[in-house]
Amino acid sequence: MVVLAVVVNLEGFLKYLNIYQGNMADCKTLLDMIDNLKVGSGLVNKKSLIVFDAGIATQENLDMVVAKGYDYVYVNRTKSKKYDLKNEIPTIIYDSKNQKTAINQIELQAKKQETIQHDFCIYKVKSDFKAMKERSMNVKFKERFELELQKLAKGITLKSGIKIQEKVQQKIGRIKEKYPSIAPHFTINRTPDQNKINIISIDWQANETAIKKEKEQGIYFLKTSLKDKDETTIWKIYNALREVESTFRTLKTDLDLRPVYHKNDNATMAHLHLGLLGYWIVNTIRHQLKTKKINHDWKEILRISSTQKLVTTSIVDDQENTIIIKKCSEPNSKLQEIYQALKYKSRPFRMKKFVVPKPEHIKHTIQKTGHFTS
C-alpha cells in the first residue's frame, strides 16, 4: 500500500509531493508526514491549511493537527440533520463557470458526546451545479431500476416466467443490489395467489425517503478550524477544497493513477511518477486556458481535440510506386478557440506527400557445389 501526499497552490500546481509506504491514518505517522511536507515545500514559517480526506479526518487527527498550529478543512460525510442557520441570507459566490453556490454557517442543535479540544465552524454549502449533476445521475439510475422491475413484472404474467415467491424475492434482491443508491427510495409490493406460493403481480412507488433526498441534492457540509467568517475566508476554504479535489480527480480518473496493477515496487513507482509528470502537462494546459476563460476539464479538452483528424491516403501509380498523402483537417470553432488561447497553430501541417519507390526484386541464386572424388 502506498500513500500519495501533495502540496498544491490555489492554481492546482504541485509545489511538493512525497510517496509514503503503508497506512497513514495513524495519528503520529500522519503528523510526521505533514511536517515533512511543510519542510519540503519551504512553508516552515507560514501557517498551512490542510485539506483532509473524510476517511482520515478522525477527531483524534483533527485535534492533533490543530495543536501543532495547522488549520484544516474537509467535507463532512455525515450530513447534519438538526442545525440552525447563523444568517438568514447566505453568502452567494459564483465560480469560474458562473455557477451559483450558496454558503451559510450553521450551529448544531445537539452536539455529539465527544471531547473536542479545539474550536471549529461548519458551513452548509448548496451548489446548483452539484444538485443538477446528482439529479441527472438519480434520474438515470431510477430509469434503469424501474426498467428492471418492469421486466420482472412482465415475466410474472408470462407462462414461462418467474412466479414462485422465493424466486421473485431473489430477483428483487438482485435488482436492489445492482442499484443500491436508488433501491431504498422505493417501496415494492408483491401480490401472492390464494395458495401464497406464486406471485401474480408486483407494483412499486417512490417513498418519503426519495422526496427528502431530492430536497437535499447539491447540499454538503464543510468543517474547518478557520475561525474567520468573512466572505474572503469562505471563498478561500471553498477554492482550496475544490482545487485539491480537482487535482486528485485528474490524477485518479483522467491520468489513471489508480488503481495500480503493478506487482513490484519499481514498476509501481514508475507508474506514479509518470502519472505526476502527466499531471504537470494537463494542469499547465488547463491553467493557460483558464486565463482565457475556457474552463473545460481534461476529458472535454480531449473530446474537442479528437474532432480534428489526420487523413492518410495511399495509392499506387502505373510504375508501382506507392504515393502516401497525409492531410490534416480544419479544426472546428471550439478547437480553434483552444488553439488560439494556447498560441498553437490550427494545423501542425496542411499536407505532406511521400513517394515510396517500387521495391527491387533481388534474385537469390543457389550456388552449386562441386563434388570431387579421388
pLDDT for residue 366: 57
| For residues 226-243, average pLDDT | 69
Of the listed ranges 152-161, 318-327, 363-372, the one predicted with least confidence:
363-372
Question: What is the amino acid identity at position 228?
Answer: D
- Quick one: pLDDT at residue 349? 87
pLDDT the model gives residue 371: 53
Q: How far is CA 228 from CA 45, 300, 317, in A?
A: 21, 37, 77
**What are the respective helix, strand and coil percentages of the chain, to the nearest 5?**
40, 25, 35
Q: Which long-range contacts (CB under 8 A, 24 or more apart) does 17-20 make?
A: 17/276, 19/269, 19/272
The answer to whether residue 218 scores a pLDDT higher than 90 is no
**Residues 231/87, Cβ–Cβ less than 8 Å:** no
What is residue 146's predicted lDDT score, i.e. its pLDDT? 92
12-to-8, 89, 243, 287, 351 alpha-carbon distances in Å: 6, 31, 6, 8, 38
Better pLDDT: 119 or 215: 119
- Report how many helices (DSSP H) and strands (DSSP E) the chain contains, helices first: 9, 14
Q: Which of 27-31, 233-237, 279-283, 360-364 has the highest mean pLDDT?
A: 279-283
Mean pLDDT for 239-265 is 77
pLDDT beyond 90 at 309: yes
> What pLDDT sits at residue 326?
94
Which neighbouring-strand residues pair with 84? Answer: 107
CA distance 90 to 105: 8
pLDDT digits (tens, 9 = 90+) for 162-184: 888 889 999 999 999 998 888 88
122-159 residue pLDDT tens: 888 888 888 888 888 888 888 999 999 999 999 888 88
How many other C-beta atoms are found inside a 10 Å radius of the C-beta of residue 1?
8
Q: How much of the chain exceeds pLDDT 70, in percent?
A: 86
Peptide bond into 348 cis (omega under 30): no
Q: Which residue has the cell 479544426?
A: 331
d(CA 212, CA 280): 42
Contacts of 91 (CB under 8 A, 6+ apart): 102, 103, 104, 231, 234
Asked if the model's pLDDT at residue 96 lies above 80, the reply is no
Region 288-295 average pLDDT: 90
Residues 156, 17: Cα–Cα separation, whole Å: 58
Q: What is the mean pLDDT of residues 67-78?
A: 82
* 287 CB-near residues (< 8 Å, 6+ apart): 11, 12, 13
Cα–Cα distance for residue pair 224/226, rounded to 1 Å? 5
Predicted confidence (pLDDT) per residue in 16-49, tens digit: 888 877 655 555 677 778 888 878 777 767 777 7
Residue 245 gets which letter from DSSP? H
For the chain, the domains span 2-123+219-288, 131-214, 307-356
Beta strands in the chain (DSSP E): 2-8, 14-21, 49-51, 71-76, 83-85, 91-94, 100-108, 121-127, 186-192, 199-206, 219-224, 310-316, 322-328, 351-356
The yes-or-no verdict on residue 241 having pLDDT over 80 is: no
What pLDDT does 353 receive? 92
Supply the pLDDT for residue 273: 86
Residue 374 confidence (pLDDT): 45
Nearest alpha-carbon partner for 164 in 203, 202, 194, 200 = 200
**Distance separating alpha carbons of residues 51 and 68, to the nearest angstrom:** 15
Whether pLDDT at 335 is above 70: yes
